[in-house]
Amino acid sequence: MSRIATCFSGLKQHNRKALITFITAGDPTLDATLPLMHAMVESGVDIIELGVAFSDPMAEGPVIQQASERALHNNAFLPWVLQTVAAFRQTDRQTPVVLMGYLNPVEFYGYEQFAKDCAEAGVDGVLTVDMPVEEAEQYRRVLLASGLDPIFLLSPTSPAARIEKVARMGSGFIYYVSLKGVTGADSLSGADVGEKTAQIRQLCPWPLAVGFGIKDAESVKRVAAHADAVVVGSALISCIESCIHHGGQSQVMLDDVKAFIGELRHAL
């Protein structure tokens, strides 16, 4: 059983929801990423979503776009990201790590080599934002052959036929984008989330993670009523960014991150 499946199975046995948090690898510095990953786990995060910086992150709002720019300025390219996951695995063999990024760096790397190196580093799943499920068959086969979960997105406008296709092609969990917009937007509606997730659950057997627009304990609590996992990204990046603007002291940043995640975990 994969780390992702084991995680969701264990949480279900204890009637708990998963907390998934996102950071961009290499932001605010290369040296900060590994301590941040460990701090997230210590604060109650169940799955780490590690962003691979890209020059044109079309699904991201301004907060994560700026994090990508800082990471690229730091030369946080894909090989370095995999080295960081491998370093994380030296002391944490349990927490699932999902890479979230865009297809261009993977195409340049090569599907087979990318999957092989991900598996060797200890990556558990890959979410490639701009890889449509209709064109993903070869990519999916390569990932599965290396023991990696291919994770796909659904949105408020996804019709039943596409939900069924994602259910067939995906693995690990399904990521539901809870609003029409980019990450960090403000238009999250609990009622709309509940209606769409109910439809998805009828057609899809995988655990359901909900992200986009979830930024505090209140929205976490509201969305968790309809999901198996809640994903928080932009709000956490904003927490990290605020420390940069106040001198960038690493321990202050880690303490603030732990306090913020602790509030989210308590809400769940």
Query: What is the structure's pLDDT at 250?
Result: 84
Q: How many residues would you count in the chain? A: 268
pLDDT exceeds cutoff 70 at 182: no
Return the DSSP state at 206. S
Tell me, what's the pLDDT at 245? 66
Domain that includes residue 210, residue range: 3-267
Residue range 27-48, pLDDT digits in tens: 999 999 999 999 999 999 999 9
Amino acid at 195: E
**84/25 Cα distance (integer angstroms):** 8
Rg (CA), the chain: 17
Number of domains in the chain: 1
What's the confidence (pLDDT) of residue 184?
46
> What's the pLDDT at 192?
76
Instruction: Give pLDDT tens digits for 223-232.
Output: 999 999 999 9
Q: Is the pLDDT of residue 268 over 50?
A: yes
Determine the average pLDDT of the residues in 179-208. Answer: 77
- Amino acid at residue number 87: A
What predicted TM-score, i.e. pTM, was given to this entire model? 0.94
What average pLDDT does the chain have? 93
Distance CA 245, CA 238 (A): 11
Is the pLDDT assigned to residue 249 strictly greater than 70? Answer: no
Give me the CATH number covering residue 164: 3.20.20.70
